[in-house]
């Protein structure tokens, strides 16, 4: 069980790691309110079932992270429930575009402007615009966090294999945003820590087409990863703001 507390918003909660985080936060007695968002949270049977058992502690709010107006409307709805948040976790991310039959690029000739733009809009612009609209709700005297799920492959220093251009580059942009936001938070919101997290390879829709080569024991369940990442967040403080940490609390080079 996580030792999180207060009011927490999970962006990208309809499935995958975000959904498992919602489940675990609801099990924690010190968490008062969980706000779960995705493009269509009412369309997620898992979320509506959880809400039915949550005694008013789970609120579902639609939000498309590629749409600035949608994020603004979500923040306004959140203000109708609470005047401050203790944490925001961005989980939404895309690696392949199944609808358009596009996978991550292996060769430079495969770069497609539409796929590049889609990756940047979700993986990079999403957390940035979340920061813009949720900063005011996180800026208070209690300790608070803004955490984004990044990926080790977004590390520039750690890139020895190449490929996956749009995913790597959009996560690297997200990482630069995390550092930049952490610097501003240190000046303007001294109790707010800003973190980038790597979950490890996790059994979700996102990783499904790429699980064949994952070594035995290295494909994590969403429950395991959610528990580990919530624990990592809970065991950080403002002195860790601006860090890139993996599920095992190990630092990753930017
Ligand atoms: N799984 C892995 O092995 C792995 C490894 C390294 C890093 N990561 C990172 O971890 C994060 C979570 O991955 P996951 O595997 O849990 O992904 P997932 O199962 O594919 O879930 C993605 C979530 O993001 C939401 N989402 C997608 N596009 C969105 C948009 N435009 N607006 C709002 N929400 C949107 C989805 O909701 P709807 O589609 O319902 O809106 C869904 O809730 C991602 O950032 C990913 O890059 C994952």
**Residue range 107-149, pLDDT digits in tens:** 999 999 999 999 999 999 999 999 999 999 999 999 999 999 9
Query: Is the pLDDT confidence value at 1 over 90?
Result: no
- How many A from CA of 149 to the centre of ligand 1? 9
Q: Give the pocket of ligand 1 (CB within 6 Å).
A: 12-18, 38-40, 63-66, 91-94, 122, 149, 151, 199, 201-202, 204-207
Q: Could you tell me if 66 and 126 are in contact, meaning their C-beta atoms sit under 8 angstroms apart?
A: yes
pLDDT at 247: 98
Q: Ligand 1 centroid to 205 CA: how many Å?
A: 8
| Superfamily the domain 6-246 falls into | NAD(P)-binding Rossmann-like Domain (3.40.50.720)
Q: How much distance in Å is there from the Cα of 92 to the middle of ligand 1?
A: 4
Specify the DSSP class assigned to residue 142. Answer: S
Q: Sketch the domain layout of the chain as residue ranges.
A: 6-246
Q: Can you say whether residue 42 is alpha, beta or left, with left for phi > 0 and alpha for psi between -120 and 50 degrees?
A: alpha
Rounded-to-5 percentages of helix, strand, coil across the chain:
45, 20, 40
């Amino acid at each position: 069980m996580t030792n999180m507390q207060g009011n927490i918003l999970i962006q990208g909660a309809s499935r995958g790691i975000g959904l498992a985080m919602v489940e675990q936060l609801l099990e924690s007695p010190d968490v008062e309110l969980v706000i779960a968002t995705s493009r269509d949270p009412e369309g997620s049977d898992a979320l509506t079932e959880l809400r039915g058992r949550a005694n008013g502690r789970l609120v579902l709010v639609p939000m498309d992270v590629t749409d600035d107006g949608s994020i603004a409307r979500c923040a306004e709805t959140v203000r109708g429930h609470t005047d401050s948040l203790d944490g925001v976790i961005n989980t939404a991310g895309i690696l392949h575009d199944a609808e358009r039959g596009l996978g991550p690029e292996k060769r430079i000739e495969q770069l497609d402007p539409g796929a590049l733009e889609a990756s940047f809009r979700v993986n990079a612009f999403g957390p940035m615009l979340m920061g813009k609209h949720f900063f005011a709700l996180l800026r208070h005297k209690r300790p608070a966090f803004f955490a984004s799920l990044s990926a080790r492959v977004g590390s520039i220093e750690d890139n020895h294999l190449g490929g996956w251009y749009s995913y790597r580059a959009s996560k690297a942009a997200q990482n630069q945003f995390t550092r930049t936001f952490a610097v501003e938070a240190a000046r303007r919101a001294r109790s707010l820590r800003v973190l980038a997290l790597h979950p490890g390879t996790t059994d979700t829709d996102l990783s499904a087409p790429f699980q064949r080569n994952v070594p035995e024991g290295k494909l994590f369940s969403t429950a395991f990863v959610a528990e580990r990442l919530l624990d990592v967040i809970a065991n950080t403080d403002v002195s860790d703001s601006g860090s890139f940490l993996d599920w095992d609390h190990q630092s990753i080079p930017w």
